[in-house]
Amino acid sequence: MKSKGQVTISIILGLVLLIAVGLVFYIRSTAQKEIHSDIKRAEDVPDQFQPVSQFVTSCLSRTTTEALTKLGNRGGYIEPERYNINSVTADPTGGGAVQFSPRSSLKIPYWFYLKSDNRCRGNCEFTIQMPPLHATSANDNSIETQISHYIEENIERCTANFQQFAVQGMQITTTGDLSAKTVVTQNDVAITLRYPLKIIQNNVEQEVNQFSTTASVNLAKIYQLGGLLTSLESEFRYLENDVLNMIVLFSGINNKKLPPMSELEFKFGGAESWTKTSVKNNIQNMLMSYIPFLKVTGTSNYEPFTAIGNELQEALYNVHNLVPLNQSFSDLEVHYTYLDFWPVYFDLNCDGEHCTAESVSTNVLSLMGIQRYNFVYDLSFPVMVEIYDKNALNGQGYTFRYFLEGNIRNNEVLKSDFVPLESVNPDPSSLLCKESSKNSGDITIAVKENGKPVDGVDVFYTCAGESCSIGKTKNGALVSKFPICIGGLATFNKKGYLGRSEIISTDIDQAGTIETEMHALTTIPLELQKKKMIFSNGKWAFDNTPVALNDKEYGTITFRRKGDILDDDMVATAEYRPGENVSIDLAPGEYELDIRLFTDEKVEIPADKRCEGNIISTCYTVPKVEINDTFPNGGVKINMTITQNELNAGKIIVYAISPAILDIPPADRKVEMMEQINKVDEYSAENEENMNPRFA
């Protein structure tokens, strides 16, 4: 009897579950049938007033596309600020959104991020910030509600009081409040708009109340994929694990690599060393280069990597750089991006800027020749996820983007109960920096620039993870005793000069000499101009004629100096806008020049009717595209050499390559022209000689 009772209960529960699931599908299908029947009803308008109906429907379609575009560009939030989602300009990992580029109004929300301060401990709070897809009330933050509100607030901007019909003798008045209803279906986005109008022409009166349209964007599937990738990150933290693997792969006892998390070296003499700034720059370069290798199985741009005869390389790309899904999204692409003008939160357990082996030159281990490297990485970094459907909007394509944040502490994935490691640095007052520890003979220091003494240079000596001030040069010289150390590092700093270091070992009562050459930084006025890629006769061609930026353009300029190992790493950045006086501090040397060009000018591409096929042709319309946000308008990335004579010239003029899309008459623009922005690096390589800066 007990067994029969259990079976009966199981049958009842199964029926209840079946009914519940059926109700869900019934409600959703009923809503979809209802809205599609609304579309059919909206078409029943007398021929005399069809132009008005078609005009409003066209405006509805255009406004819907605007809403979807803004929504896709901002992670499902047309106006993130309405929902208290804000970015921190100087610290992308410090807010709920990321400012896409310097001074840009485009702010893209995180869907998963560390809500607590980056220095949290013991109670670190993580947040999933996905908006709901379907509406549950008239004022929620769902995607359906946001689209409806956007249409309600902007449709009359398009209809413009129906002025174009007044000249035809029509009187059109609004007789009630307008309201929109959005339903994201399984295949598209359907909109009905209640817009009560009274139309009078030639004493004939007609009331039209309802209009509707559909947008061919499979937003439900895009949202589903974005939610899966976000859930995988929040649960398994695949971004952090991928970056930890990269740090291990690219680290080693070599200052051209990243400092190792844990390694021993049996070696007498000086240990390897790094500067914290250079490590941070290398981390950002690593993220920018390798985050795009992340691929998602089951998507249209996933393709297993093959390296014949190199199983290790295959494993690196096909396992470590893989986000596995158990579903197919074969019509969608997924792209992961990190750009180096999104600063990261970064820390490394170094003594100030100087990073070296923790056991270097200690009394016992130095005699045994043991160098122990234990570096602890703390890192928070933003990653942009882009989901792209090339078939959406009748072939125009649709992009949905949002951010995920990776968080690493103490060489591990950051967890909510994180507690940082306690510092184990020795007390400076008891070891290296005591006056009684300075037992060398007199060390004579000479600092020069182009053979001339440099006065007022601060001299520090670093050994065993500790830095001590030695003194300041006078007339380019300093004589002082040093602590005893094998393979120590003397560091020279002066404001307005490129920092410099020299390796020196000291011994009891032994005198020595340090001679070093420093480079003064030259402040030089900076101007940014552009050279265009011109569209003519169906082809894009490079025009070497420099052109000044217009008043809606601006650029970010970054010089990365590739100096001697013992030179401080130097990154000089500036933002240039026409009419502003901009200068930059540079020293002679080899540089990588990276420029990003932006425009605040409205980008508009008209609707485009296209037909395919010869005998039986299929016609469709690519909808109008409008971009009112900051838009990437070109750039350049080249290697170059700067001499002191050039810096003395008085001014540096740098050039960016700009595809001249906005020079093309709007009626002749095609949506495919937007692809030229992604070819800037390719054009930079092809025209590198012509893109070298000019000194004047």
- Say yes or no to pLDDT of 25 above 60: no
What mean pLDDT do residues 403-430 have? 69
What pLDDT, on a 0 to 100 scale, did the predictor assign at position 103? 72
Q: Report the alpha-carbon distance of residue 60 to residue 44 in Å, rounded.
A: 17
Q: How far is CA 7 from CA 3, 11, 14, 20, 21, in A?
A: 6, 6, 10, 20, 21
What mean pLDDT do residues 439-445 have? 91
Question: Within 10 Å of residue 640's Cβ, how many Cβ atoms?
Answer: 15
Of 199-213, 344-358, 550-564, give the range with the top mean pLDDT: 199-213
What pLDDT, on a 0 to 100 scale, did the predictor assign at position 502? 85
Place of tokens 């600063």: 343
Assign 44 a pLDDT band (cuts: 50, 70, 90): low
- Say yes or no to pLDDT of 306 above 50: yes
Assign 408 a pLDDT band (cuts: 50, 70, 90): very high
Structural tokens at position 69? 């575009």
- Say yes or no to pLDDT of 369 above 60: no
β 631-642/589-599 pair status: antiparallel
Any idea which of 73-77, 84-88, 259-263, 618-622 has the lowest mean pLDDT? 618-622
What pLDDT, on a 0 to 100 scale, did the predictor assign at position 253? 87
- Say yes or no to pLDDT of 28 above 80: no
Place of tokens 């009772």: 5
- Say yes or no to pLDDT of 15 above 70: no
Assign 383 a pLDDT band (cuts: 50, 70, 90): very high
Where is pLDDT greater, at 544 or 51?
544
What DSSP string describes 430-475? GTTTSGGG--B-PEEEEEEETTEE--S-EEEEEETTEEEEEEE-BT
Q: Report the alpha-carbon distance of residue 634 to residue 555 in Å, rounded.
A: 9
Any idea which of 202-211, 419-428, 507-516, 635-644 has the lowest mean pLDDT? 419-428
Q: Report the alpha-carbon distance of residue 408 to residue 393 in Å, rounded.
A: 39
- Say yes or no to pLDDT of 682 above 90: no
Residues 186-224 pLDDT 10s: 899 999 999 999 999 888 888 899 999 999 999 999 999
Q: Report the alpha-carbon distance of residue 632 to residue 654 in Å, rounded.
A: 17
What pLDDT, on a 0 to 100 scale, did the predictor assign at position 38? 47
Where is pLDDT greater, at 25 or 218?
218
Q: Report the alpha-carbon distance of residue 85 to residue 253 in Å, rounded.
A: 43
- Say yes or no to pLDDT of 152 above 50: yes
What DSSP string describes 646-689? HHTTS-EEEEEEEE-GGGS-GGG--GGGGGGGGGHHHHHHHTGG
What residue segments make up the domains of the chain, in order of their start?
40-85+133-212, 220-261+274-345+376-413, 430-520, 522-695
What mean pLDDT do residues 44-70 have? 88
Q: Are 390 and 217 in contact (CB under 8 A)?
A: no
What pLDDT, on a 0 to 100 scale, did the predictor assign at position 466? 64
What mean pLDDT do residues 422-431 have? 40
Structural tokens at position 657? 């390559």
Task: List all residues 6 or more positions away from 557 whose beta carbon is below 8 Å from its beta carbon.
Answer: 526, 528, 573, 574, 575, 576, 584, 593, 594, 595, 654
Length of the chain: 696
Assign 149 a pLDDT band (cuts: 50, 70, 90): very high
Spacing of C-alpha 605 from chain mean position = 26
What mean pLDDT do residues 161-188 have? 90
Q: Which fold has domain 430-520?
A: Immunoglobulin-like (2.60.40)
Any idea which of 44-53, 244-253, 320-329, 662-671 has the lowest mean pLDDT? 44-53
- Say yes or no to pLDDT of 30 above 70: no
Any idea which of 271-285, 356-370, 520-534, 680-694 has the lowest mean pLDDT? 356-370
What pLDDT, on a 0 to 100 scale, did the predictor assign at position 666? 87
What pLDDT, on a 0 to 100 scale, did the predictor assign at position 193? 95
Query: What is the share, in percent, of the chain residues with pLDDT greater than 70?
Result: 83
- Say yes or no to pLDDT of 23 above 50: no
Where is pLDDT greater, at 237 or 311?
237
* Burial (0-12, 13-18, 19+ Cβ within 10 Å), 574: middle
Assign 309 a pLDDT band (cuts: 50, 70, 90): low
Sign (positive or negative) of CA dihedral 80, 81, 85, 86 = positive
- Say yes or no to pLDDT of 398 above 80: yes
- Mean pLDDT, the chain, whole residue set: 83
Any idea which of 77-91, 130-144, 259-273, 652-666 has the lowest mean pLDDT? 259-273
What pLDDT, on a 0 to 100 scale, did the predictor assign at position 18? 43
Q: Are 621 and 608 in contact (CB under 8 A)?
A: yes
Any idea which of 297-301, 304-308, 566-570 has the lowest mean pLDDT? 304-308
Measure the N-to-C terminal CA separation of the chain; round to a whole number of Å.
99
What pLDDT, on a 0 to 100 scale, did the predictor assign at position 232? 92
What DSSP character marks residue 580? S
What pLDDT, on a 0 to 100 scale, did the predictor assign at position 379? 96
Any idea which of 518-527, 531-540, 674-683 has the lowest mean pLDDT? 674-683
What mean pLDDT do residues 446-451 have? 91
Query: What is the share, in percent, of the chain residues with pLDDT greater than 90?
Result: 41
Assign 616 a pLDDT band (cuts: 50, 70, 90): low
Q: Report the alpha-carbon distance of residue 106 to residue 627 in Å, rounded.
A: 11
Q: Report the alpha-carbon distance of residue 136 to residue 142 in Å, rounded.
A: 8
Residues 497-525 pLDDT 10s: 888 888 888 888 899 999 999 988 999 99
| Beta-bridge partner residues of 296 | 323
Task: List all residues 6 or more positions away from 280 whose beta carbon is below 8 Å from its beta carbon.
Answer: 344, 346, 348
- Say yes or no to pLDDT of 361 above 50: no
Task: List all residues 6 or more positions away from 198 whose beta carbon is below 8 Å from its beta carbon.
Answer: 171, 172, 173, 175, 205, 206, 207
